[in-house]
Amino acid sequence: MLNTQIIKTDGISIDYNDLNMAAKIIREGGLVVFPTETVYGLGGDATNASAAKKIYAAKGRPSDNPLIIHIAKPEDAEKYAFTSEVYYKLAKSFMPGPLTVILPKKDIIPFSVTGGLDSVAVRCPSHPIASKLIEATGVPLAAPSANLSGKPSPTCARHVIEDLCGRVDAIIDGGDSEIGLESTIVKLDGDSLTLLRPGAITADALRCVCASVTIAPAVLEQLREDERPLSPGMKYKHYAPTVPFVLIDGERERVIEFLKSEQKSKKCAILCYHEDMALLDNQNIIDVGNADNLESQAHILFTALRDADSFGVDIIYAHLPPKDGIGLALYNRMIRAAAHTVIKV
């Protein structure tokens, strides 16, 4: 059991001594959780195979599920991967920011970071504390989401403390994550892009830079047991509360009627649109924002799942989200948290 240090910040800047202490921990092979604009990351030195092993152990993550490496500037990718013209086109439009690009890896990145693959996932976060930490360590940070494997990704320090206190050397508290869902992941194949994981950089935004964008089947559908996803992480159960999570698909009024009757017969929690709050019994309901505000729903989703799970209910319900814009990312996370359970009303 490690004595985890909690480092407080104002969410934008970090004390100089705290920054140097965190950077030293990472350079010496330790683990530091840090805030990013997407979710919190569990960071270790991406050039150090034993640090990578510690990351997998701290999360309880299967070692064939590769880690994303975080860099301070898009051009730093040159040191760790083979870049291309399309990489720089994407970088110009979306970096620093919530976009991860899969590139062929160079030898300096150990196979323990890439789950044995000869490609590496590269991201340049825009969060000022993340950037400062990467610069101060002088190495790329291998950083998966800072949750225990299978749990919803953490979007505030409280979630990280719940999951990883005693399992990491330090946690930098940077307040609430701005976006609340993990980065968009794309794989480059010549001039074409495959979207492996949707996020705040939407498929339409990618199409403005690259004419050919294909959405990988695992984004929307459940893979068969024998199918191999392009992104190994897509095959694992993820984001799941401990009780069943069920999505309801149908017209708003019918969904409300269904939820009202469920509230009478079951101990249930509901992730509810703001406008519908007054229509339901107010026990165990969580306001996720207006029906048309998908950014708010994305921002709140992981907190709502953790909170609903702590109510001691038997089942959690939510609306099935639309699939456009950031809705695709929301849909992808929710359908997997629900293990593809959808009730049509």
Report the nearest approach of ligand AMP to the CB of residue 45 (Å).
Answer: 16
N- to C-terminal Cα separation, the chain: 48
Smallest CA-to-CA distance from 205 within 50, 109, 95 is with: 95
Torsion of CA 321, 323, 328, 331, to 10 degrees: 30
Q: How far apart are CA 333 and CA 238, in angstroms?
A: 8
Contact call for residue 182 and ligand AMP (CB under 6 A): yes
Query: 35 is in the binding site of which of Mg ion, ligand AMP, none (Cβ under 5 to 8 A by kind)?
Result: none
Query: 117 is in the binding site of which of Mg ion, ligand AMP, none (Cβ under 5 to 8 A by kind)?
Result: ligand AMP
Contact call for residue 112 and ligand AMP (CB under 6 A): no
Stretch 234-263: interaction string toward ligand AMP, x if CB under 6 A:
x-----------------------------
Q: How far apart are CA 270 and CA 283, in angstroms?
A: 9
Residue closer to ligand AMP, measured from CB, 114 or 202: 114
For residues 248-274, one letter each, b for 16 or more C-beta atoms within 10 angstroms of the residue's C-beta and e for the rest, the string is bebeeeebbeebeebbeeeebbbbbbe
Give the residue at shortest CB distance from ligand AMP. Answer: 233
Q: Are 297 and 289 in contact (CB under 8 A)?
A: yes
Residue closer to Mg ion, measured from CB, 45 or 182: 182
Contact call for residue 185 and ligand AMP (CB under 6 A): yes
Q: Which stretch binds ligand AMP (CB under 6 A): 112-120, 246-254, 270-278, 298-306?
A: 112-120
Residue closer to ligand AMP, measured from CB, 66 or 125: 66
Contact call for residue 117 and ligand AMP (CB under 6 A): yes
Which one of residues 7, 33, 46, 120 is an interface residue with ligand AMP (CB under 6 A)? Answer: 120
Q: What is the DSSP string of 256-316?
A: HHHHHHHHHHS-EEEEE-GGGGGGS--TTEEE---TT-HHHHHHHHHHHHHHHHHTT-SEE
Which residues contact ligand AMP by CB under 6 A?
65-68, 102, 114, 117, 119-121, 144-145, 182, 185, 196-197, 231-234
Which residues contact Mg ion by CB under 5 A?
145
